[in-house]
Structure 1
Amino acid sequence: MIRRLAGASLSLAVVLGAAALPAAAGPATASTTTANVSAAPDVDVAKVRAHLSELSAIAGRNGGNRRSTTQGYRDSVAYVKGKLQAAGYTVTEQPCTSGCTSGAGPNLIAEWPRGDANNVYMFGAHLDGVAAGPGMNDNGSGSAALLENALALAQQNPTMRNRVRFAWWTDEEQGLNGSAFYVRSLSSAERARIRAYYNFDMVASTNGGYFINHITSSAAAPMKAYWDSLGLRPEENTEGAGRSDDYSFQRYGIPTSGYAMGAGARKTSAQAAKWGGTAGASYDPCYHRACDTLSNINTTGLDRAADGIAHTLWQQAVQTGLLADDASPRGT
């Protein structure tokens, strides 16, 4: 998450259209008796942490960080891309040709080619970090949780109602530049197909809370429902307002939500009583510091975020009902 929203211009000319995406699969037949019904998976947090370990190793081989302009970032892109391609995704690298820091690496976009292409639910996280350290919580945590969710979707291959598109953003730390470029590059018709965008930035803060962007919105409803089911009593993410990639979508009128566990702001006494941790201390004491390493990860929070992403994805895009013998055909 950026420390504050820099003055990244959204008035630059659009020079790149939406990434080419795989075509939809054919519709299910009307004689289908049941959909490919499956519950949202319990995402394995050990696998999420394994992705974090790889991102940490990448940083270690590249000067200790994964800033958007470095080989550490480009190697992070290659790691995520390789995992997605092995799972069957067609993955697009989108160069940021305007508005990004000079030399910044690409956005990475992957779409699961099932479901109604006119109803897209998008899930994203920034993959870049700051120069001070490897960026394990900010934002290896969101990137890794998102990656394992994409892999779990491919493995389960459920019947889909709607489309799911995943994105790992470049140059967030310099002003939300990669996501701003992506949304700016879309046509108005392409933006209209995105029903909601979900953002995951710093979801493993060691002294964290449980925060949801636009918590009372309809987009946030499945995210809140999952954390409510765990008794977490989440709160609005006021600290993160306008400071992460959801803001790029919000500026174009696209509904947004997302999970966060907090950055440099301090936990209140009421929050410590509710969630545990230390009142008066930062949610992430290693925010934008060299100590944002693998030791700076709240595994319980990471697990709850990863599972909440899966719950939201299934609620918004996966076919969970039964189809009668005379049901109308539905896209898969």
Structure 2
Amino acid sequence: MRSRMIATLGAAALAAAALLAPSASAAPATLAAPDVPLANVKAHLSQLQSIASSNGGNRAHGRPGFRASLDYVQAKLDAAGYQTSVQSFSRSGATGYNLIADWPGGDVDDTLMTGAHLDSVTAGPGINDNGSGTAATLETALAVARENYQPDRHLRFAWWGAEELGLVGSTYYVDNLPSSERSKITGYLNFDMVGSPNPGYFAYDGDGSSGSGGPAGSAEIEQVLRAYFQTIDVPVQDTAFDGRSDYGPFIRVGIPAGGLFTGAEGRKTSQQAQLWGGQAGIAFDRCYHSSCDTTSNIDDTALDRNADAIANAVWTLAAGGGAG
């Protein structure tokens, strides 16, 4: 994840039932998302750590650890029945890759896309940044397959290359989509650092309550993400929706987006420590962009909550059509 500033406390989470349809009584029942097993998410993190350890200590763009990470994720998705493709691009004299995975079925003209960047910095294995988002997104995709979920919307998942060099992979993907294909992506969810060891609970400020909002539909995505945390009595704050992770290329072309974040190099305030526990005055992730961003640099509770919130958002938003 590239550096970003934490915004002020956002609006309280809204009930999910108020978000999904103008008339809840007229809407069909939405299938509940399954629990995403924390053990499965952590098993993916262990594999990413092993890959880094076997490949010079990182999973960075242009390094063998990145391609090995992509191969690991792709093999899991292929075995689960996804239609996968690898998109290549060039940056800094090296070939980079995006992995795209489509779940068969649903309205391809109304596609909900969920993504996370797969690369680390060269300094370390990148297990929180962004193994955590990679693993939680992967396990959500595998849950879709286990449940044989067949929602109204088409589901597409992506793992981006070269985010750490400036959103290179996701920008390449969006810029090279024909306009007719861009218009079919009606929502994008982004998960970049969701297991920080001194965690906060943040949602991208899609409704603009603490700054600039996003394209139409982003507010509804934010509300769905917040509503999950309301059910477990965890307060959520806004984080800046400023395009500094892989949702940036999507919102620049008007695609509604949203996502979750547990904090990077910013320091947790006393107020935030009262809300969530942890240590005030200490970074959310003291190992941000460092060699110590290993499997020991993860808060299990934050990772578990966010993985379940991701699945809940995919199930909720995919069921009814449209951004929210």
Q: Same fold (TM over 0.5)?
A: yes
Q: Which residue of 2 aligns with 1:50?
A: 43
Cα distance between partner residues in 2 of 1:159 and 1:293: 36
Separation of aligned partners in 1, 2:199 and 2:92: 30
Separation in 1, partners of 2:232, 2:160: 30
How many angstroms apart in 2 are the aligned matches of 1:36 and 1:75? Answer: 41
1:296 match: 297
1:83 partnered with 2:76: yes
1:60 to 47, 50, 53: 53
Deviation at 1:2, TM superposition (A): 1.8
**Bigger Rg, which one:** 1
Unaligned runs of 5+ in 2: 5-27, 208-218
Task: Give the partner amino acid of 1:66.
Answer: R
1:191-247 deviations in Å (ceiling 9; x for gaps): 111111110001000111000012531121211110111111101113x73221011
Secondary structure of 1:140's match? helix
| Structure 1 counterpart SS, 2:89 | coil
- What is the total number of aligned residue pairs between the two structures? 288
1:108-187 correspondence to structure 2 within 5 Å? 108-187=99-178
Give 1:145's aligned amino acid.
A
Match of 1:263 in 2: 264
3-state DSSP of counterpart to 2:102: strand
**How far apart are 1:39 and its partner, in Å?**
2.0
Q: Which is further off, 171-180 or 154-163?
A: 154-163
Distance in 1 (alpha carbons) for counterparts of 2:119 and 2:176: 20
> Is the contact made by 1:66 and 1:130 (CA closer than 8 Å) also made in structure 2?
yes
Kindly indicate whether the alpha-carbon contact (under 8 Å) linking 2:30 and 2:316 is maintained by their aligned counterparts in 1: no
SS of match in other structure, 1:106: strand
Show structure 1 runs of 5+ residues with no match: 5-34, 321-332
Alignment-derived partner of residue 2 in structure 1: 2
- Listed one character per residue, the Cα deviations across residues 95-140 of structure 1 (whole Å, up to 9, x for unaligned) are 024xx33213210000111111111111000000001110000000
Percent identity, please.
Answer: 49
Q: For the residues of structure 2 that align with 1:38 and 1:121, how far apart are their CA atoms?
A: 17
What corresponds to 2:284 in structure 1? 283
Contact 1:215-1:235 at 8 Å conserved across structures: no
Structure 2 CA distance for aligned equivalents of residues 291 and 243 of structure 1: 23
Q: Specify the SS of the correspondent of 1:220.
A: helix
Q: Contact 1:101–1:174 (CA<8 Å) still a contact in 2?
A: no
Alpha-carbon distance change, 260 to 64 in structure 1, aligned in 2, over 3 angstroms: same
1:197-212 → structure 2 map (5 Å cutoff): 197-212=188-203
Shift in CA distance, 319/197, structure 1 to aligned 2, threshold 3 Å: closer
Mapping for residues 215-230 of structure 1, pairs under 5 Å: 215-216=206-207, 217-230=219-232
With normalisation by structure 2, the TM-score equals 0.85
Query: Contact 1:206/1:283 (CA < 8 Å) preserved in 2?
Result: yes
